Amino acid sequence: MTTVQTNAVDPSLLATMNSGSVAKSTTQEAQDRFMTLLVTQMKNQDPLNPMDNAQVTSQLAQLSTVTGIDKLNATVTALNASFQTSQNLQAASMIGHGVIAPGNAIGLTDGKSIFGVELPQSADKLQVSIKDAAGTIVRTMDLGLTPAGVSTMSWDGKTDSGATAVNGVYQFEVSANAADKKLDATLLSFGLVSSITSGTQGAKLSVANIGDIGMTDVRQIY
């Protein structure tokens, strides 16, 4: 006769190994607890004063509400993850492209530069002052009538004296007026997207002459 030897297995080890197959969702656990409490309540109710249908219906409605909220939270979480993935893919496709975004820097390369301004309403006077690293104004441009919204501009690298400015990064200021009203203008810089980072706040673009910006900061893509 063959003797079969059996070894005792620690129950806690079995529970650990089987945990993946018996795990329940938070929603299912809440439903189980609720039903257990409801059944216990009905078993131990006062025979002379039993629960009426309205009480049972009310408690079931509460369970339905809690379950619905849990499902809604799960759906929103999934949608948010999908949105972040989509945003990261869109941001990655922008690497190597030029963008216009809030900033006051102008990068000059061989007499070529791009910058811009965003106005809340059209301006009948718009003046741009370009400064070097020392803060000295090297060029002043009167652009006159400028429409509301985003307007892109260029600087040919010429100074007010007619000389050619050296390559580098300059700063600029804008004065915009509509009649006698001074407008709150948003300065816009141009730069190339070199890389992206993804975090809890969404995708960030690393842009030359501007720094790290969000996708919503981009006004135009080139």
* Nearest to 103, CA basis, from 201, 208, 178: 208
What CATH number is associated with residue 119? 2.60.40.4070
**Looking up tokens 């002043």, which residue turns up?**
140
Query: Is 77's pLDDT higher than 90?
Result: no
Q: Does residue 29 fall inside a structural domain? A: no
Alpha carbon distances (Å) from 115 to 28, 40, 162, 216: 57, 72, 20, 18
Q: Does residue 82 fall inside a structural domain? A: no
| Predicted pLDDT of residue 197 | 86
Question: Which residues, including other chains, have CB under 8 Å from residue 111's CB and lie 6 or more apart?
Answer: 156, 157, 158, 164
Q: Does residue 212 fall inside a structural domain? A: no
Tally of domains in the chain: 1
Q: What is the mean pLDDT of the chain?
A: 80
Q: Which amino acid is at 60?
A: L
Q: Does residue 131 fall inside a structural domain? A: yes
Q: Which amino acid is at 215?
A: M
* Nearest to 190, CA basis, from 170, 175, 166: 170
Judged by DSSP in three states, 157 sits in coil
What would the pLDDT profile of 122-147 be if each residue is shown by its tens digit? 999 999 999 999 999 999 999 989 99
What would the pLDDT profile of 35-65 be if each residue is shown by its tens digit? 676 677 666 665 656 656 666 667 666 666 7
End-to-end CA distance of the chain: 85
Q: Which residue has the higher pLDDT, 49 or 214?
A: 214
| Predicted pLDDT of residue 203 | 84
Q: Which domain holds residue 167?
A: 98-190
Q: Does residue 39 fall inside a structural domain? A: no
Judged by DSSP in three states, 48 sits in coil
Report the distance separating Cα 220 and Cα 101, nearest Å: 7
Q: What share of the chain is helix, strand, coil (3-state, %, to 5)?
A: 30, 35, 30
Query: Is 173's pLDDT higher than 60?
Result: yes
| Predicted pLDDT of residue 3 | 47
| Predicted pLDDT of residue 40 | 73
Query: Is 191's pLDDT higher than 70?
Result: yes
| Predicted pLDDT of residue 21 | 46
